[in-house]
Amino acid sequence: MKFRDKQPALYWCGVALVAIALIALPLVLTMVGTAWVRITNLAILFIFLALGLNIVVGFAGLLDLGYIAFYAVGAYVYALLASPHFGLHLPFWVILPIGAFFACVAGALLGAPTLRLRGDYLAIVTLGFGEIVRILINNLSSPFNITNGPKGITRIDPFQIGNLEFYNSDTWLGILFTGPAKYYYILLLILLAVIAINLRLQKSRIGRAWVAIREDEIAAKACGINTRNVKLLAFAMGASFGGIAGGMFSAIQGFVSPESFILHESIMVLSMVVLGGMGNVWGVIAGALLLSFVPELLRYTVEPAQQALFGQMLVDPEVLRMLIFGAALVLTMRFRPAGLWPESRHRQEFAGGATHE
Amino acid sequence: MEIFIQQIINGLTTGSVYALVALGYTMVYGVIQLINFAHGEVVMIGAMVAFSVITALAGTAAPLPPAAILLAGVAAAIPACMAIGYLLERIAYRPLRHAPRLAPLITAIGMSIILQHLALLVWSRNPMAFPQIVDNPVFTIGGAAITGVQIAIILLSVVLMAALTWFVYRTRFGIAIRATAENVHVASLMGVDANRVIAATFVIAAALAAVAGVMVGTYYGITHYTMGFMLGLKAFSAAVLGGIGNLAGAMLGGILLGLVEALGAGYIGDLTDICKWPLMKEAVAERCAADGHLILMGSNYQDVFAFLVLIAVLVFRPSGLLGERVSERA
């Protein structure tokens, strides 16, 4: 029996408390420093990305190492359609779906030739795809300037709903709402919708088909699942989540450049999914939060700690972060292969030592 | 025509390096049916170790002869890389031999990140100039230039490939490797120590990678902690092109990929020059007037070719040029 049915009063009290905490969070963080609200916003974007990748890696079991390419597609679609670069200034609710659509097309383009491939081949091809997208963005500045090359695109429009601007501060009911805080609320709303979609998706007919393919593709095929279409759908759907996240990233940062879409970012998102628990929505969210905030904490602690211990900076926090990611991937796979918060089915699979041969 | 011959020479040189690295991928794939994802980083470590040794030796008051210094660099890089290859197998692959396929791949990615950033800490974040100590005479063939280093790289690769082929096909241990690749369980029953064979395969692959690393360093004159990534990807594409698991395939694939890349980079600028397209000429006449060229894709797209080849092979001939095995063994 679920906790919700056993103790309804307690359950709803808990939900209310969490809701109040989530609403109050940016206001509290603003007092600490607006930087932390920005960090929280980025963390939410990474949750979007991790959830999108989770569809591909966690649900369908297809290892995608070029996921950041879809984020890049979304970000650049937004940047091109809402900046002085082309002189276009469409509202964000028009662009975000367009970005999602383009990312979705990119996902299908990547998926179509690679569908027949097994896990490790797929990983390398997706890696190559990610690189192709990055190389394209870097070089599509001549002879026709589309992406503005390595310089990136600046002065991207922020979100705007009617007269409500998202980049400046406003005071309502005597409370100061900074730009990042306003973004936080819209991100939170979209996040809730995305989580709901993911949870429903997991239990849906398609979600179960994905799991079936992940567990045994031949058996899934024998059960009448159109594996080609269902895998393609996983790619396309994961990609469109990435595209939406990319568009919001563009708007929040106001600036995009190819630097933001390197392989390390793909690996970071993959680490979030793997560490949190492939296939488990809540685990993936926890993984994304963990890997978003730990590096920030490192930034504030590693430097003083090293100064105190050795009198100089030995290890750059950025490098330490990557070392920790690497070690986290290795250690998670060796000692908790299903992640910190595994999905129940994955847990069985890894415990049973099932081999895929 | 000079451009053509020049690009063939350049392609053969990079192709030989790809072939050496591709052999590492293909051998490891042969015995455990998994991609050694961190293989590119082993190449990078090889180049880095050689860089340190060569810089140190060349900087002494009475330096050894240049050839001896270079040899010392290679001699230091090989054991260092072999150790890393062994560690890779012990940490990232052996404990997960019975886990789902995704697991060792992810640990290998982790190891690759760790190796990269350790190299960043030990050496530098910036590209380092590889000391050019040996004389590099330039010869001319049909109007194209070939340097001493290019000749040395091609010859050394041929020697190494011949040695590897002899080792795999003519020695007892080579037979054990082939038996393990054929069927690990049956090989074990016949008295082959599978763990030893698999570890040895990683180590041999790493030794080849070390030599390849020194070659890349000397050829391009530069080392960087991220150089292993692209090189590894290309070499993997080469292995797939030739048919992964097949030694001759890796050699062929490497050379072919090197040629495709060099010729592609040499000609793509001309081919995508819109001013030369009859249909487009009129439309862009205004912009062509300036300097007569409007190049859509220049040689900065060079890195894309390897992936296009990879994707094309996987779509049209997944088993590669020489591969017999079906790549898709679910």
Mean per-residue pLDDT, A65-78: 89
A90 and A192 share one domain: yes
Span between the terminal Cα atoms of chain A, in Å: 37
In Å, how far from its chain's centre is CA B184? 27
Three-state DSSP at B225 gives coil
CB A298 within 8 A of CB A332: no
**Nearest C-alpha in A relative to B96:** A334
Three-state DSSP at A125 gives helix
A261 is written with which tokens?
């879409």
A21 and A146 share one domain: no
Q: Which residues of chain B does A335 touch, with a Cβ-Cβ cutoff of 8 Å?
A: none
C-alpha–C-alpha distance, residues B252 and B250, integer Å: 6
A11 and A109 share one domain: no
Those residues with Cβ within 8 angstroms of residue B71's Cβ, 6 or more apart along the chain or in another chain:
none
Does residue A118 belong to any structural domain of this protein? Answer: yes
User: Which DSSP string do the residues of A39-82 spell out, in sequence order?
Assistant: HHHHHHHHHHHHHHHIIIIIIS----S-THHHHHHHHHHHHHHE
- Tell me: pLDDT of B327 over 90: no
Of A132, A217, A319, the CB nearest to B330: A217
B132-170 pLDDT tens trace: 887 788 888 878 888 988 999 999 999 999 999 999 999
Residue B326 pLDDT level (bands cut at 50, 70, 90): very low
Residue B286 pLDDT level (bands cut at 50, 70, 90): low
Q: Which residues of chain B does A135 touch, with a Cβ-Cβ cutoff of 8 Å?
A: 300-301, 303-304
Three-state DSSP at A145 gives coil
Does residue A301 belong to any structural domain of this protein? Answer: no
B22 is written with which tokens?
């591709």
Query: Does A219 contact B at CB distance below 8 Å?
Result: no
Three-state DSSP at B223 gives strand
**Nearest C-alpha in B relative to A109:** B311
C-alpha–C-alpha distance, residues A310 and A318, integer Å: 18
Q: Which residues of chain A does B330 touch, with a Cβ-Cβ cutoff of 8 Å?
A: 118, 217-218, 356
- Tell me: pLDDT of A63 over 60: yes
Q: Which of A137, A264, A329 to substitute to test the interface with B, most B CBs within 10 Å?
A: A329
A26 and A51 share one domain: no
State how far the alpha carbon of A200 is from the alpha carbons of A193, A208, A272, B104, in Å.
11, 11, 21, 31
Number of helices (H) and strands (E), helices first, in chain A? 14, 6
Size of interface A-B (CB pairs under 8 A): 145
Does residue A304 belong to any structural domain of this protein? Answer: no
Helices A179-203 and A281-310: crossing angle in degrees, nearest 10, is 130
> What CATH number does the domain located at B2-316 have?
1.10.3470
**Nearest C-alpha in B relative to A121:** B35
A195 and A96 share one domain: yes
Tell me the percentage of chain A whose pLDDT exceeds 90. 4
Does residue A312 belong to any structural domain of this protein? Answer: no
**Alpha-carbon dihedral angle through residues B307, B44, B125, A270, given to the nearest 10 degrees:** 50
Per the structure, how many domains does chain A have?
Answer: 2
- ipTM for the predicted complex comes to 0.81
Query: Does A171 contact B at CB distance below 8 Å?
Result: no
Q: Is the pTM of this model over 0.90?
A: no
Does residue A148 belong to any structural domain of this protein? Answer: yes
Query: Do the chains contact at B295 and A337, CB–CB below 8 Å?
Result: no
**Nearest C-alpha in A relative to B313:** A113
What pLDDT, on the 0 to 100 scale, is given for residue A356?
Answer: 44
Mean per-residue pLDDT, A346-355: 52
Mean per-residue pLDDT, B70-79: 92
Residue A118 pLDDT level (bands cut at 50, 70, 90): low
Query: Does A330 contact B at CB distance below 8 Å?
Result: yes
Query: Do the chains contact at A334 and B96, CB–CB below 8 Å?
Result: yes
Task: Flag the least confident range among A116-130, B111-125, B236-250.
Answer: A116-130
Task: Flag the least confident range among A41-50, A306-315, B87-96.
Answer: A306-315
Q: Which of A130, A148, A131 minimizes the C-alpha distance to A139?
A: A148
Task: Give domain limits for chain B.
Answer: 2-316
Helices A92-114 and A68-81: crossing angle in degrees, nearest 10, is 150
Q: Of A244, A263, A282, which residue constitutes the final position of a domain? A: A263
What pLDDT, on the 0 to 100 scale, is given for residue A353?
Answer: 47
A77 and A214 share one domain: yes
* Dihedral pair phi/psi, residue B268, rounded to 5°: -60, -35
B88 is written with which tokens?
């890779």
Q: Which residues of chain B does A322 touch, with a Cβ-Cβ cutoff of 8 Å?
A: 113, 116-117
C-alpha–C-alpha distance, residues B82 and B85, integer Å: 5
- In the chain, the amino acid numbered A244 is I
**Residue-range definition of the domain harbouring residue A174:** 35-263
Q: Of A263, A296, A314, which residue constitutes the final position of a domain? A: A263
A170-229 pLDDT tens trace: 666 766 667 777 788 888 988 899 899 988 988 888 888 988 888 888 888 888 888 888
Residue B282 pLDDT level (bands cut at 50, 70, 90): low
Mean per-residue pLDDT, B303-328: 74
B57 is written with which tokens?
């030796």
Query: Does B170 contact A at CB distance below 8 Å?
Result: no
A197 and A251 share one domain: yes
- Tell me: pLDDT of A344 over 70: no
A21 and A51 share one domain: no
Query: Does B275 contact A at CB distance below 8 Å?
Result: no
A174 and A82 share one domain: yes
- In the chain, the amino acid numbered B53 is V
- Tell me: pLDDT of A39 over 70: yes
A76 and A167 share one domain: yes
C-alpha–C-alpha distance, residues A236 and B198, integer Å: 38
Query: Do the chains contact at A350 and B310, CB–CB below 8 Å?
Result: no
A164 sits in which H/E element: strand A164-165
Residue B330 pLDDT level (bands cut at 50, 70, 90): very low
Query: Does A215 contact B at CB distance below 8 Å?
Result: no
Query: Does B288 contact A at CB distance below 8 Å?
Result: no
What pLDDT, on the 0 to 100 scale, is given for residue A162?
Answer: 67
Q: How many residues does chain A have?
A: 357
A90 and A196 share one domain: yes
Of A116, A135, A319, the CB nearest to B318: A116
Those residues with Cβ within 8 angstroms of residue A111's Cβ, 6 or more apart along the chain or in another chain:
A231, A232, A234, A235, A236
Does residue A279 belong to any structural domain of this protein? Answer: no
* Dihedral pair phi/psi, residue A174, rounded to 5°: 75, 5
Of B102, B107, B229, the CB nearest to A63: B102
**B window 58-97, beta carbon within 8 A of A:** 91-92, 95-96
- In the chain, the amino acid numbered B118 is L
**Nearest C-alpha in A relative to B102:** A119
* Dihedral pair phi/psi, residue A309, rounded to 5°: -80, -50
A28 and A39 share one domain: no
What pLDDT, on the 0 to 100 scale, is given for residue B294?
Answer: 65
* Dihedral pair phi/psi, residue A223, rounded to 5°: -80, 5
